[in-house]
A and B are shown apart, each in its own frame.
Chain A
Amino acid sequence: MGRLSVSLCGIELDNPVIPASGTFGYGHEFAELYDINCLGSLSFKGTTLHERLGNPLPRIAETSAGMLNAVGLQNPGVDRVICEELPKLAACFRKPVIANVSGFSVEEYAEVCRRLDAQPQVGWLEVNVSCPNVHGGGMSFGTEPKAAAEVTRAVKAVTTKPVILKLSPNVTDIVAIARACEDAGADALSLINTLMGMRIDLKMRRPILANTTGGLSGPAVFPVALRMVWQVSQAVSIPVIGLGGIQNAEDVIEMLLAGAAAVQVGAANLVNPYACRDIVDALPGVMDRLHIHNLRDIIGGSHG
């Protein structure tokens, strides 16, 4: 066990740094630049039962210290992810990966998880009940404790792999939803997904995004994410993966102190394709400076 290693539902990670779903494709674009085996794990693009083209363009807009996206879960569908993407991913990444799953019904979530459960490469299933960019699915399951619990139970019934519920920040009481997921059998939680936002084009006087609204991510959301991780990690006894706006090794340590057992890095990869590798490389130096011997010792270290 190295200084950076952490454990997530019984699986050892060399370090807590995991690229977030939707910002790392299936890894190959980044594997062209560096050996991505330096990462703790990797969460691949949200997968649905059938192919999805996503929302009309424009589906990206810039904000101060961040961005909005309304991609809307573009993916080739679970069967092609398994036949085409996972073998290519296996060729460049030899560690267990996090399979990110979305759906429009409880049955769809369960069916996609059932198919991904059979893949030896998949270490965890990350169930996205928090996508703000699709109508009639995604976030609607994550804004109500009962619905989130129902999805959790349905998924747990079809897999033996650890199930991570990815939570939405677009709720009044994230702790209530987190508890409902834990009670329904979730093995871990990841938070936060994006915050719903919008921008208007001043010349056209129309929303920039064709979908009108999109999900805000990037450094702008870091304090919100940190606060939610701090609250949730004290209310549940399962591990919490912290994400939202992480840019550097200091942010990782702050997130662990807030109670995260591991972290994910999203938008930062889009701006600096080396972001995750740079964070992993910077961690030991920052730890030395802060007199941190092992990362696993500081998880929740800010709780009173």
Chain B
Amino acid sequence: MKQGFFTILENTPLTEKVSRLRLGGDVSAVERPGQFADLRLEGCFLRRPFSVCDQDEESFTVLYERVGRGTELLAALPVGQSLDVLTGLGNGFDPVRGGERPLLIGGGTGLSPLYGLAKTLLRRGAQPTALLGFNTANEVFYAEEFAALGVETLVCTADGSRGVPGFVTAAMDRDHTGFYACGPEAMLRAVCETSDRPGQLSFDRRMGCGFGACMGCTVLTVSGPRRICRDGPVLDREDVLWAD
């Protein structure tokens, strides 16, 4: 974990609701795909957590959806604005768990950390396939970016208006060696019910601190209580206890 000031290099809408934010600064604490950053916003008491989508030597990007006051304020910030950010939070994905042909399964903005993971997996010689789920065609984003990496990319829409009709589970093939998933909890659970392969899931919980101090985000897992911000957000599928 590291605290630092980052400059907004880009803050552009990708769809009606989702924008891409690129932040320039000291990214030395951003170590693994699946980690997140916690942004302090003028006018909000608590920080706002967002997965790191991608990074280079001097910047990282997040993809965020406008869902409330903080994300609306964020969307209004101009390029050049400075932000107080905690980086390098959370455990991140283990690129070995998913094997040679892993599925990357993203629901909505949940696809964000899977993009950085796809790059890491490709570097390691794995052949990931991306399954990206949305409600409807005009909510689709980042499908071209995944495809441009050389990843086979399937878009699924719940209303059938683009790509594979239905939920991402409809597009899960049989010969994948494992999976990484991030998105709504119902999707994570459905993915686990569809595949018996090794998998990792990224969870999202309301947070106080984001770095393990307040116990605000603790969930009970097979191996005991785990703080989603510190011991997660990524959990092995075997470790997850689903609520009834």
Do A and B pair up? The answer is yes
Chain A residues near B208 (CB-CB < 8 A):
60, 67, 69, 270
Flag if B225 contacts A57 (CB, 8 Å). Answer: no
- Cross-chain contact of A57 among B46, B209, B213, B217 (Cβ < 8 A): B217
Shortest A70–chain B CB gap in Å is 9
- Cross-chain contact of A54 among B3, B45, B212, B218 (Cβ < 8 A): B218
Flag if A74 contacts B218 (CB, 8 Å). Answer: yes
Chain B residues near A30 (CB-CB < 8 A):
213
Is A63 on the interface with B (CB-CB < 8 A)?
Answer: yes
Interface string of B184-209 (1 = CB under 8 A from A): 00000000000000000000011111
| Count of residues in A whose CB is under 8 Å from the partner chain | 34
Is B211 on the interface with A (CB-CB < 8 A)?
Answer: yes
Complex: A93 Cα to B187 Cα, angstroms:
44
Shortest A46–chain B CB gap in Å is 10
Is B86 on the interface with A (CB-CB < 8 A)?
Answer: yes
Flag if A57 contacts B205 (CB, 8 Å). Answer: yes
Q: Given A58-B205, A60-B206, A74-B225, A29 and B212 touching (CB < 8 A)?
A: yes
- Ordered by A's residue number, 6 sampled pairs between the chains whose C-beta atoms are within 8 Å are A24-B213, A58-B205, A269-B213, A270-B208, A271-B46, A272-B40
Interface string of B216-234 (1 = CB under 8 A from A): 1111100001000010000
Shortest A211–chain B CB gap in Å is 12
Complex: A30 Cα to B214 Cα, angstroms:
12
Q: Given A67-B208, A69-B208, A271-B46, A60 and B214 touching (CB < 8 A)?
A: yes
Complex: A169 Cα to B230 Cα, angstroms:
32
Q: Is the interface of A mostly helix, strand, loop or mixed?
A: loop
Complex: A265 Cα to B171 Cα, angstroms:
51
Chain A residues near B216 (CB-CB < 8 A):
59-60, 69, 71
Flag if A71 contacts B205 (CB, 8 Å). Answer: no
Interface string of A61-87 (1 = CB under 8 A from B): 111111101010010000000000000
Is B215 on the interface with A (CB-CB < 8 A)?
Answer: yes
| Count of residues in B whose CB is under 8 Å from the partner chain | 26
Closest 5 CB pairs of A and B: A60-B216, A270-B209, A58-B206, A74-B215, A25-B213
Shortest B221–chain A CB gap in Å is 11
Flag if B40 contacts A271 (CB, 8 Å). Answer: yes
Chain B residues near A22 (CB-CB < 8 A):
214-215
Shortest B149–chain A CB gap in Å is 33
Flag if A270 contacts B205 (CB, 8 Å). Answer: no
Binding site for A on B (CB under 8 A): 1, 3, 40, 44-47, 84, 86, 205-209, 211-220, 225, 230
Flag if B205 contacts A69 (CB, 8 Å). Answer: no
Complex: A62 Cα to B207 Cα, angstroms:
10
Chain B residues near A290 (CB-CB < 8 A):
none
Q: Given A32-B1, A269-B213, A270-B214, A65 and B45 touching (CB < 8 A)?
A: yes
Interface string of A7-38 (1 = CB under 8 A from B): 00000000000000011110001101100000
Interface string of A36-61 (1 = CB under 8 A from B): 00000000010000000110011111
Please provide the chain A residues from 263 to 288 with a CB less than 8 Å away from any CB of chain B in the complex.
Answer: 267, 269-274
Is A242 on the interface with B (CB-CB < 8 A)?
Answer: no
Given A65-B45, A273-B3, list of 17 further CB < 8 A pairs? A22-B214, A29-B211, A29-B212, A57-B206, A58-B206, A59-B206, A60-B206, A60-B207, A67-B45, A69-B208, A71-B214, A71-B216, A74-B215, A74-B218, A219-B45, A270-B46, A271-B45
Chain B residues near A33 (CB-CB < 8 A):
1, 3
Shortest B41–chain A CB gap in Å is 11
Chain A residues near B209 (CB-CB < 8 A):
23, 269-271, 273
Shortest B117–chain A CB gap in Å is 25
Chain B residues near A244 (CB-CB < 8 A):
none
Shortest B215–chain A CB gap in Å is 4
Which residue in chain B gives the minimum CB-CB distance to A27?
Answer: B213
Flag if A23 contacts B214 (CB, 8 Å). Answer: yes
Complex: A80 Cα to B47 Cα, angstroms:
31
Complex: A3 Cα to B68 Cα, angstroms:
46
Flag if B219 contacts A57 (CB, 8 Å). Answer: yes
Complex: A32 Cα to B230 Cα, angstroms:
13
Is A218 on the interface with B (CB-CB < 8 A)?
Answer: yes
Chain B residues near A64 (CB-CB < 8 A):
45
Q: Given A59-B216, A74-B215, A66 and B205 touching (CB < 8 A)?
A: no
